[in-house]
């Protein structure tokens, strides 16, 4: 077993939603050990959390700049090799940029930056750095999503003509309808979340899934947002028509006010020879649809799956694996890249996905603001 990769954590404190997913994911395949962190903006909170999860406190720094400064003083074989950024959105860009400039690999939460301009700057920094950059579009780590990609790549659906991605949640309902609450969460504050709430937070996952599974690029789009209240500057619901080619069209639907919905990400791709349908809340079932044959159900771990899909399962068929395993698969792919090992480009989303995502978010806002018109992606 090679030596564990020394991992630093930024954000993801005990008070966070996503921190536990990253921590568990980083341990699952025995590739990483957490050696340093800034879990919270308050140093005492960071230290207390490190004690709670039993991580040595000598490298729990008071802030991000101190982490970089102090780690650079350590011998290279002790220094953090990769930092995982799990903070609110506005910190992704400055943290990722400084890390790459100082020779650290980066694992970063989405949306990658606050806007497309920052994304392009980060792309340049990344090119110069020669370091690994992995973006945690978690859902691409599911074995059956990977299977979908490989089946489409192998031409099993023939020419694609229709795509339908939906990401429906209802969690913002108790916040959005209360004036005081809706002005106090970071996800509805453009200074902290960026120009979009719903599309920036979850629509971008659906967009990423569409490009990841089909291997095609969205060329143009038309978006209609709902903000619900005059004083709310951020979309909480949006429908996007997309064109991926002259005869490849579809829709990305995304909502944070879909009452009663939990984490309803679903994607369906239809082609001349068949269709594939997958839903995040039942991630171990991939449905293959046909006009002439009964519906088929693909499940993880069986030898009939592609190499990329099988790389993402650890247990024999019938042992359900879920979101922690999907994120762990992204960490596993990033570990291979960090160690200079061979990997499939479907094993983790990259800077290119981050750039596409930011281009998508900006264009949805532009389309809506111009009066729901068609706009072209770069
Ligand atoms: N990949 C996914 O499926 C997924 C799911 C949820 C959230 N996210 C993304 O993860 C990020 C965090 O989301 P969340 O829901 O966990 O947010 P959160 O508000 O629950 O947690 C953010 C954490 O960052 C810490 N933090 C804030 N400022 C900091 C600073 N200056 N230095 C160090 N730590 C700091 C907070 O103390 C907290 O622990 C967001 O960018 C979000 O879009 C991704």
Task: Give the chain's radius of gyration (CA, Å).
Answer: 21
From 47, 86, 140, 264, mutation site for ligand 1 pocket: most ligand atoms within 8 A of C-beta: 86
Closest ligand 1 atom number to CA of residue 63: 32
Q: What's the confidence (pLDDT) of residue 183?
A: 87
Closest ligand 1 atom number to CA of residue 91: 31
Residues 320-339, buried b or exposed e (16+ Cβ, 10 A)?
ebebbbbbbbbbbbbbbbbe
Q: How far is the CA of 40 from the centre of ligand 1 (A)?
A: 10
Q: What is the dihedral of CA 140, 288, 266, 210, to 10 degrees?
A: 50
Extract the tokens encoding 98. 């400084």
Q: How far is the CA of 39 from the centre of ligand 1 (A)?
A: 10
Closest ligand 1 atom number to CA of residue 38: 33
Q: Whose CA is nearest to atom 20 of ligand 1?
A: 16
Q: Which domains does the chain have, with CATH numbers?
A: 5-138 (3.40.50.720), 142-313+349-369 (3.30.360.10)
Q: What's the confidence (pLDDT) of residue 266?
A: 98
Q: What's the confidence (pLDDT) of residue 203?
A: 98
From 17, 47, 262, mutation site for ligand 1 pocket: most ligand atoms within 8 A of C-beta: 17
| Ligand 1 neighbours by CB, cut-off 6 Å | 10-13, 15-18, 38, 40-41, 64, 86-89, 91, 109-110, 136, 138, 201
- What's the whole-model pTM score? 0.97
**Running along the chain, 378 residues long, what does each successive block of 10 average in pLDDT?**
93 98 98 98 98 97 98 98 98 98 98 97 98 98 98 98 98 94 92 95 98 98 97 96 96 98 98 98 98 98 98 97 98 98 98 98 98 98
Q: How far is the CA of 193 from the centre of ligand 1 (A)?
A: 10
Q: How far is the CA of 15 from the centre of ligand 1 (A)?
A: 9
Q: Whose CA is nearest to atom 2 of ligand 1?
A: 138
Q: What's the confidence (pLDDT) of residue 177?
A: 94
Q: Whose CA is nearest to atom 30 of ligand 1?
A: 41
What is the DSSP secondary-structure string of 323-346? Answer: HHHHHHHHHHHHHHHHTT----TT
Extract the tokens encoding 196. 């979009």
Residues 55, 7: Cα–Cα separation, whole Å: 12
Cβ proximity of 284 and 173 under 8 Å? no
Q: What's the confidence (pLDDT) of residue 188?
A: 93
Planar angle of CA 210, 88, 9, nearest 5 degrees: 95
């Amino acid at each position: 077993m090679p030596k564990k990769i020394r991992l630093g954590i930024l954000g993801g404190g005990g008070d966070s939603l996503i921190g536990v997913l990253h921590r568990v994911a980083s341990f699952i395949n025995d590739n990483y050990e957490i050696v340093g962190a800034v879990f919270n903006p308050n140093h005492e909170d960071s230290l207390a959390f490190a004690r709670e999860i039993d991580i040595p406190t000598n490298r729990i720094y008071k802030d991000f700049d101190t982490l970089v400064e102090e780690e650079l003083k350590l011998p290279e074989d002790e220094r953090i090799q990769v930092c995982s950024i799990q903070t609110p959105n506005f910190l992704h860009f400055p943290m990722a940029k400084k890390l790459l400039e100082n020779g650290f690999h980066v694992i970063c939460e989405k949306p990658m930056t606050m806007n497309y301009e920052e994304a392009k700057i980060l792309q340049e920094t990344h090119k110069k750095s020669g370091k690994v950059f992995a973006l945690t579009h978690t859902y691409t780590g599911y074995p059956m999503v990977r299977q979908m990609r490989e089946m489409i790549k192998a031409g099993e659906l023939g020419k694609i003509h229709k795509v339908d991605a939906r990401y429906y949640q209802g969690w913002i309902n108790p916040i959005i309808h209360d004036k005081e609450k809706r002005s106090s969460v970071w996800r509805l504050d453009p200074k902290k979340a960026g120009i979009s709430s719903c599309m920036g937070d979850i629509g971008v996952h659906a967009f990423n899934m569409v490009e990841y599974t089909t291997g095609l690029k969205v060329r143009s789009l038309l978006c209609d947002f709902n903000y619900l209240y005059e004083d709310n500057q951020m979309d909480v619901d949006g429908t996007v028509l997309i064109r991926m080619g002259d005869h490849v069209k579809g829709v990305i639907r995304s909502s944070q006010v879909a009452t009663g919905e939990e984490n309803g990400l679903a994607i369906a791709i239809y082609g001349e020879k068949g269709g594939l349908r997958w839903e995040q809340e039942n991630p171990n079932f991939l449905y293959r649809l046909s006009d002439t044959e009964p519906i088929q159900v693909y499940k993880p771990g069986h030898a009939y799956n592609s190499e990329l899909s099988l790389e993402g399962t650890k247990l024999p068929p019938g042992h359900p694996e879920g979101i922690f395993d999907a994120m762990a698969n992204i960490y596993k792919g990033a570990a291979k890249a960090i160690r200079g090992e061979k990997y499939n480009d479907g094993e983790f989303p990259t800077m290119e996905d981050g750039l596409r995502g930011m281009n998508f978010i900006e264009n949805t806002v532009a389309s809506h603001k111009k009066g729901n018109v068609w706009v072209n992606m770069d």
